[in-house]
């Protein structure tokens, strides 16, 4: 696929593991007549900021398939703990200044969001990594551990990432009264107990009134090569292990992570059911 001229020395890397626990062989699963990994590759290739796009995988069959559709692929080690470590292996073999970690299960990845990450990182010498977040709209996502939350400082830098609710916001800012803690029963003015769903909704409103927002992290990262190589060589850190979130290793090693707020929402494929739903969605949208 022909791409527009890139404005920076930046490689887009799509980590692709064959042995997914929930969906083995997911990168090769067929979606509208193409392997899933091909959809991601072609969408990423539309990003103006990328001088190259390649798939980093531990599987020779994935390498073969990528090369068959005209893409670039590198065979990497099998023992990487996460996508960041796989991207770092690519960075050790390339000389570009910037690298982007692109999720391999998002066939509708927005090229402009990739460009936003890269451009923001290029324009700020203070950041080692740049990523994105979007306001959480669904009440049930606030306490869903599969939806990673992030809090940021006034300058837009990440303070912390968690699978738990952050910020906690345990009170109603209008009354300053506690009693809306999730997991505990509380009474309204009529003495009736609030159920968990109502509590979550109240806290979402309270957080907004406080000037806070519940932000869901979007797993798209742009890295500076030197920071990526340095941090990837370090052992997994305590918070990284506790939360099972690889980006915390950067924070624990003192790297600043910039966070851009966007309305974009990830639409990934985690299971075969997700693949079927995605096929219906793309078929209805006229994708091919």
Q: Each residue of 7-33: b (16+ CB within 10 Å) or e?
A: ebebbbbbbbbbebeebeebbbbebee
Res 189: pLDDT: 45
Res 179: pLDDT: 43
Could you tell me the two tokens for 32? Answer: 């509208």
pTM: 0.84
Half-sphere exposure of 270 (CA within 13 A, CB side): 3
Residues 169/142, Cβ–Cβ less than 8 Å: no
Res 270: pLDDT: 86
Cis ω on the peptide bond leading into residue 118 (within 30° of 0)?
A: no
Res 23: pLDDT: 87
Res 180: pLDDT: 45
**CA–CA distance, 138 with 25 (Å, rounded to integer):** 31
Could you tell me the two tokens for 242? Answer: 């506790």
Three-state SS at 12? strand
Residues 99/13, Cβ–Cβ less than 8 Å: yes
Intervals of the chain under pLDDT 50: 1-2, 4-6, 172-176, 178-193, 196, 288
**CA–CA distance, 146 with 260 (Å, rounded to integer):** 20
Residues 13/90, Cβ–Cβ less than 8 Å: yes
Region of 225 please: left (phi>0), alpha (psi -120 to 50) or beta: alpha
Res 174: pLDDT: 46
**CA–CA distance, 196 with 201 (Å, rounded to integer):** 9
């Amino acid at each position: 696929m022909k791409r527009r001229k890139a404005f920076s020395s930046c490689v887009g890397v799509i980590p692709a593991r064959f042995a997914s626990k929930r969906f083995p062989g997911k990168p090769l699963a067929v979606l509208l007549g193409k392997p899933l990994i091909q959809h991601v590759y072609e969408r990423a290739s539309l990003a103006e900021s990328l001088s190259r796009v390649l798939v980093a995988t531990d599987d020779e069959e994935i390498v073969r398939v990528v090369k068959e559709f005209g893409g670039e692929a590198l065979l990497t080690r099998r023992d990487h703990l996460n996508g960041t470590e796989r991207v770092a292996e690519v960075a050790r073999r390339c000389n570009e200044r910037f690298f982007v970690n692109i999720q391999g299960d998002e066939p509708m990845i927005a090229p402009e969001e990739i460009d936003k990450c890269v451009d923001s990182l290029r324009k700020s010498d203070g950041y080692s990594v740049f990523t994105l977040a979007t306001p959480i709209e669904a009440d049930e996502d606030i306490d869903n551990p599969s939806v990673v939350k992030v809090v940021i400082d006034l300058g837009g830098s990440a303070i912390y990432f968690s699978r738990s609710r952050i910020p906690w916001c345990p009170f109603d800012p209008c009354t300053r009264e506690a009693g809306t803690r999730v997991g505990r029963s509380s009474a309204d003015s009529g003495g009736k107990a609030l159920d968990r769903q109502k509590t979550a909704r109240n806290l979402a409103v309270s957080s907004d009134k406080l000037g806070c927002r519940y932000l869901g992290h979007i797993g798209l990262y742009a890295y500076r090569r030197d920071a990526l190589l340095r941090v990837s060589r370090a052992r997994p850190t305590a918070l990284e292990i506790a939360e099972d979130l690889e980006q915390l290793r950067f924070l624990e090693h003192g790297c600043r992570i910039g966070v851009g707020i966007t309305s974009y929402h990830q639409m990934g494929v985690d299971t075969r059911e997700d693949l079927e739903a995605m096929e219906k969605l793309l078929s209805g949208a006229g994708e091919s």
